[in-house]
A = this chain, B = another copy of it.
Amino acid sequence: MDKPKKRHWKIRLHEIIYEADTSGGKIFDIILLVTIIASIILVMLESVKSFDAKYHNFLNISEWIITILFSLEYIARIITVKKPFKYVTSFYGIIDLLSTIPKYISLVFGGIHALAALRALRLLRVFRILKLVRYLGASNTLLKALRSSRVKISVFLFTVVIIAIILGTIMYLIEGEEAGFTSIPTSVYWCIVTLTTVGYGDISPVTPLGQFIASIVMILGYGIIAVPTGIVSAEYATQSKANKIIEEDVQLNSQSCSNCLSEKHKDGADFCYNCGEKLH
């Protein structure tokens, strides 16, 4: 009699952690979101020297609280999933682990500065918030439009890089070292800065010929921005029309299979479309 009860407890926890449909699941997701944002703000504040000097203890204790919360969440996720190994080796599983260990490592090796690199990875945890975005956009026209124009945008970006290399080399030969065009890679960097209309101004042409070519680069960059925009606009419009027909037929929910973690089950589905496991 003990076993089914325990299983029931696991199923409920699985629902709370992995699904967003029940009220418990929603509250868990919101708390997780707030904790992640708090952890990011903590890492940010720690990097501000003047703030760290003043509130070092507060930051340290807060870090420990969040580390423990993240550790508990990590353990709970492993327990409630049927195939823990699959979770541990998944993208989110690795990020979850990497988000918790830096503080433990700092305990052994002291506050080595190089560990900050590992801490930065904790920020990747924010992507899990995107899981919500994924639900929101289950039948999202935007994602479909981006996917169908992926090849075209890649070709476009590749062309931009080639133009940057050629024009960057030309500018290196024209402007020379005095104007800051110290090497071809630096010139290519300048060319990308200009083509994308960012324009830092740390490197800028000084010779008349250099300024003339720079003007061409700018107008080129100003003009070719129309290309990705045009692609996405048209694809999005096409997807919008196509979606209206599809959306009326299929309704997906935010449930996640407790066996294989696959998502986007149809409303009213009783078994996982991927592994055949019963859905709760």
Contact = CB atoms under 8 A, between A and B. Distances in A.
What is the predominant secondary structure among interface residues of chain A facing chain B? Answer: helix
A234 B233 contact: yes
Contacts of A159: 130, 133
Nearest to A113: B173
Given A142-B152, A200-B204, A240 B232 contact: no
Contact of A124 (B166, B196, B231): B166
Interface in A230-277: 230-238, 240
A120 interface: yes
Given A201-B201, A215-B189, A183 B48 contact: yes
Given A162-B130, A200-B204, A230 B232 contact: yes
A188 interface: yes
A104 interface: no
A130 B160 CA distance: 12
Interface string A126-155: 110110010011001010011000011101
Interface stretch (A55-63, A73-81, A218-226): A218-226
Interface in A94-146: 116-117, 120, 123-124, 126-127, 129-130, 133, 136-137, 140, 142, 145-146
A162 B126 contact: yes
A43 interface: yes
A226 B237 contact: no
Copies in the complex: 4
A13 interface: no
A131 to B, nearest CB: 12
A225 B231 CA distance: 12
B208 A49 contact: no
A48 to B, nearest CB: 4
Contacts of A124: 166
Contacts of A142: 152, 155-156, 227, 231
Interface of A: 40, 43-44, 47-49, 116-117, 120, 123-124, 126-127, 129-130, 133, 136-137, 140, 142, 145-146, 151-153, 155-162, 165-166, 169-170, 172-173, 182-186, 188-189, 192-202, 204, 208, 211-212, 214-215, 218-219, 221-223, 225-238, 240
25 contacts: A44-B184, A47-B183, A124-B166, A129-B162, A130-B159, A133-B159, A140-B152, A142-B152, A142-B155, A142-B156, A142-B231, A160-B222, A161-B219, A196-B222, A197-B222, A198-B221, A201-B201, A221-B222, A225-B229, A229-B233, A230-B232, A230-B235, A234-B236, A234-B240, A237-B238
- CB-based closest 7 A-B pairs: A230-B232, A198-B199, A200-B201, A226-B228, A196-B222, A201-B201, A47-B184
